Each structure stands twice: as C-alpha cells, then as structure tokens.
Chains A and B, each alone.
Chain A
Amino acid sequence: MGNLHKCFLLFLLVAVVAACQPVRPYQRVYLNDHEMQHGQHGAQSFEESVQTYREGATGGGGSKTSGGCGCN
C-alpha cells in the first residue's frame, strides 16, 4: 500500500508538470508576488529551526536535514 501511495504521488507530480502553460514575463504579476515565493519567508525561518529540535523529522524544502547543531 505504501508503494502504491508513492507511485500515485509521483504520477500526480508528473501530470502537474506536464500540464504547465507558458507564461511570458509580462504575465508574471502573480508569480512574482512576495507571498508566492517558495521556501521559508523571513519570520518563518525561526519556527523551522525550532521544529528540527522538537521533532524527529528534519529537512525537505530548503532547510538542512541534519548536522550543525545539537538537534535531531
């Protein structure tokens, strides 16, 4: 069941990427908005570091996965 779950997620990702539309530079008003940027925004980065100390799972999405601190 776990493998089926992973295959479904991979298929979903491929389908989403394949459905992409071209976007010209003058059409990027929404995409260039600050709130649309991926990764951690400003004040959010401190919360991310707290979670690496208080939970067993770390990493994914720009933050380091392990090392450099007495965290998990």
Chain B
Amino acid sequence: MAAEVKPAADADATSQDVVMKKRYLAIGLLAASMTTFGQRNDSAYVKRKISTTDIQALFSYYTQDGEHSAVTGGRGTEDLQVYSTSLELDHQKDSIRSFHMMTGLDIISSASTDNIDFEMSSASKTDFRAYLKAGIGRKLPGSGFTAGINGSFSFESDYWSLGPGAHISHSNSDQTREWTLAAQVYFDDLRWFDHGKHEELIYPAEMRHKEWFDAYRRTSYNLSFSLYQVINRRMSVGFYPGVAYQSGLLSTPFHRVYFIDETGRVENLPRSRFKVPVRIQLNTFIGSRWILRTYYRYYWDDFGITAHTLSAESPIKLSRIVTLIPFVRVYRQTAADHFKPYGLHEVDQEYYTSDYDLSQLESYKTGLGIRYAPHSGKGNTIFKEAEIRYAFYKRSDDLTANMISLFLNWEK
C-alpha cells in the first residue's frame, strides 16, 4: 500500500505552526533576559572560609606488676598504676593552614619509686606527668609540599623536657605517594623539680654521700622519614626508617645496681646512644568487610640491643558504623651490653645496669577494640567515633600489664 501524501495546504499549516512556536519561544527568552540580573555588591551573600576542628579525647588506665624493679637493683615489686588523659585538637583553618595541639596529664602511682627512700611501709608514691605539644602547618600551593614546625613541653617530678621540631612532606598529584621528613630535638633535665625550681639529682637514700654524676642534662636528636605508597585500590604500604642520637646523662639517677661483692652503686650507662629503627607497614582490604594491618619493625642501637617486632591488627566491619578490632603483637630483643641481673656485675665494670627493660626479653600483647563511628550530630558539631580498647601485655621476665583506653572524636 502506498504511503499517504498530505495535501499541500495541510503541510503549509504545519510549517507555520512551527515558525510561530519558535517566535513565541524567542520572545519569552528575550523577556526573561531583560528581567534577570547578576550578583549585586549589596547582596546578602557573605564569603566565609570553611574551617574544621577535629577534637580527640583519650582516657586510659594502665596497671602492671613484676618482680624486677630497677629501683631496687633488679629485684623487687614493679607494681604501678597510671591514669592518663589527653586532649588533641587539629584545626584546619582553610585549605592551606593548619594548627595542631595536644595536651595531657598522667597520674602515676608506683611502689618501686617509693623505694627510692626505702619507705616500705608507706603507700605507693604518687607522681604526675604533664605535657603540651603545639604546631602549625602550611601547604605550599601548587607544589604538593606541606611544611610545619612544632614545640613540646613535658614535666614530671624527676624530668623536664623541651622539644622543638620541624617537618616537610610531599604528596603527588593523585595522592598515591606521600613522603615526610621530620626532625625533633629534646632538651631534658633530670633534676628533681620541687617547690617551683630544679633541685638536684635524686639518688637512692643510702647513696647520697657523693655526687655520682656531674651532668644532669640529656639531649636527644630524632630524624625520621616516612614513605606512603598506594599499591592498588585495596592495598597500601608504608616505609618508616629513622635515626636517633642521645647524649648526656642516659642512666636513671635513682636506679640501684649491686655487684658480686655485695656493694651497691647508682646505675651508670654510656654518655651517648645511637639508635636505628626501621618499620614496614602493609594495610590491605580482604573482601569488603575485613582489613588486615600488619607491620614489622627492626631496631638496632649501640648499647647492644637488637629487636624485632611483628604486629597484626584485623579490623572486621560488623556494620557501617561498628568495627571489631582484634590484635596481637610479638616482640623480641637482645640484652644491652651493660645489663646483668641482681648481684652479678663485676666490680671493675665501667658501665652497669640491672634495668630489665634493657635485658634479653620477649613480650607479647593481645587484645580487642570496638569502634563505633556514627558520624552524626546537630548543627556544626559531629560526633565521629568512640572506641574502647583493652590490651594484655606480658614479658618473659613475668612482668604483666593490663591497659584499657576510651577514645572519643568530634568534628566541629
């Protein structure tokens, strides 16, 4: 069947309709353009910089016990409790400038510290440590570089510290690689601080007949590098080498050491120490809910200590806002050259310690954390997350410790 052909009159009417519609559309657009206007200088719009502040609070309780207190020559109770609180603020003023501050207070109750004066019948001595660290950072626009400086202050009754530092970092354009170089120096004073001033080094009560050391300062230089590299969409690796050099009084003035002839002296360690830690970390997503965070650290220093650390955390996302975090860490170190247990030091040794922190030891730590991250809130304040974490720590010399922490995070 042949297609129908419209009469010529009907075709003309259709084309006229189209032309009229186009004219009406043009008139309408012209009218609209005459009544619209751009942004006026007197509009209610106010230009504001978008700044954010991240607030983190950490509350921790730590308790330990052991039988190798360095205060009593490597033998005696190491019973100790620490109540720790800290507050950390990260303020991003704009896309370029940032400010960081951290402050905290630790309350320390230690039976071994009480034994400096051999007041065995008294309650455990209570001490405290307070600290403050602040820093600023600035992105250098267009270069990928960020630079910053910081300063820290820390004091407890037998230790003062001032610490300036600086860092520079670079991130590539697609943020798959970032490196950071940081330098930190600590100027420490080991004199007992009382009544608003530095007093003197505190030796064990029965050893105060002479000045064992003519130095009371300790200086520590730390240089650390970090390299973060994205491997693929689910995996990233980090490489963290560092070096540190310490000089000055490195022993603890109130630690006792006993010799084979049953005499006692104040702990004496070399006046310098060089340390090299290197850590490699690998984080990867396995499936859609399971993450594996692992790291290995190798450590060496010229005290004779070589150490290996292996850690694994395995966060499991139970839901969008709840994560379970089991973890385990194992550690092994060789003894420092100058370490010997109670009563085994030779009389003619130049350096000597019975501090079991420097002995040959293995340790393991295991525990569980639960993280709740609703990212909810009212107005400008968002509650980001809460995490509670318990860890059990045990050393091969039978020192055991339990620690529990509560972490809270907001953003404003």
Interface of A with B (CB < 8 Å)?
Answer: 9, 13, 16-17, 19-25, 27-31, 33-38, 41-47, 50-51, 53-62, 64-70, 72
What are 12 A-B pairs with beta-carbon distances under 8 A? Answer: A20-B176, A25-B175, A31-B236, A35-B317, A43-B60, A46-B62, A50-B62, A55-B357, A57-B331, A61-B295, A67-B161, A68-B220
Q: Is B333 an interface residue (CB 8 A)?
A: yes
The smallest C-beta distance from B140 to any residue of chain A, in angstroms, reads 21
Digitize B371-412: 1 where CB-to-A-CB distance is under 8 Å, 0 elsewhere.
001000000000001011101010100010101011101000
A47 to B176, CA, bound (A): 29
Contact of A47 among B232, B277, B283, B403 (CB under 8 A): B403
A42 touches B240 (CB 8 A): no
Most buried by A among B283, B336, B363, B403: B283
Closest A-chain residue to B129, C-beta based? A69
A22 touches B307 (CB 8 A): no
| Given known A55-B357, A61-B279, contact A42–B56 (CB-CB < 8 A) | yes
Digitize B173-201: 1 where CB-to-A-CB distance is under 8 Å, 0 elsewhere.
01110000000111010100000000000
Contact of A22 among B131, B174, B228 (CB under 8 A): B174
B405 touches A60 (CB 8 A): no
Q: Is the interface of B mostly helix, strand, loop or mixed?
A: strand
The smallest C-beta distance from A23 to any residue of chain B, in angstroms, reads 5
A37 to B281, CA, bound (A): 11
A68 touches B154 (CB 8 A): yes
Closest A-chain residue to B222, C-beta based? A65
| Given known A68-B152, A68-B163, A69-B161, contact A23–B230 (CB-CB < 8 A) | yes
18 A-B pairs besides A24-B174, A65-B220 with CB distance below 8 A are: A21-B231, A22-B174, A22-B176, A25-B175, A31-B234, A38-B238, A42-B387, A43-B58, A43-B405, A46-B62, A47-B365, A47-B405, A50-B62, A55-B363, A56-B303, A57-B305, A58-B277, A62-B224
B358 touches A72 (CB 8 A): yes
A41 to B62, CA, bound (A): 18
The smallest C-beta distance from A36 to any residue of chain B, in angstroms, reads 5
| Given known A43-B369, A60-B277, contact A36–B236 (CB-CB < 8 A) | yes
The smallest C-beta distance from A2 to any residue of chain B, in angstroms, reads 9
Q: Is B237 an interface residue (CB 8 A)?
A: yes
Closest A-chain residue to B184, C-beta based? A64
The residues of B that contact A61 with a CB separation of less than 8 Å are 226, 238, 240, 279, 281, 295, 297
| Given known A46-B84, A60-B242, A61-B295, contact A31–B230 (CB-CB < 8 A) | yes
Contact of A66 among B154, B275, B315 (CB under 8 A): B275
A60 touches B278 (CB 8 A): yes
The residues of A that contact B228 with a CB separation of less than 8 Å are 38
A68 touches B186 (CB 8 A): yes
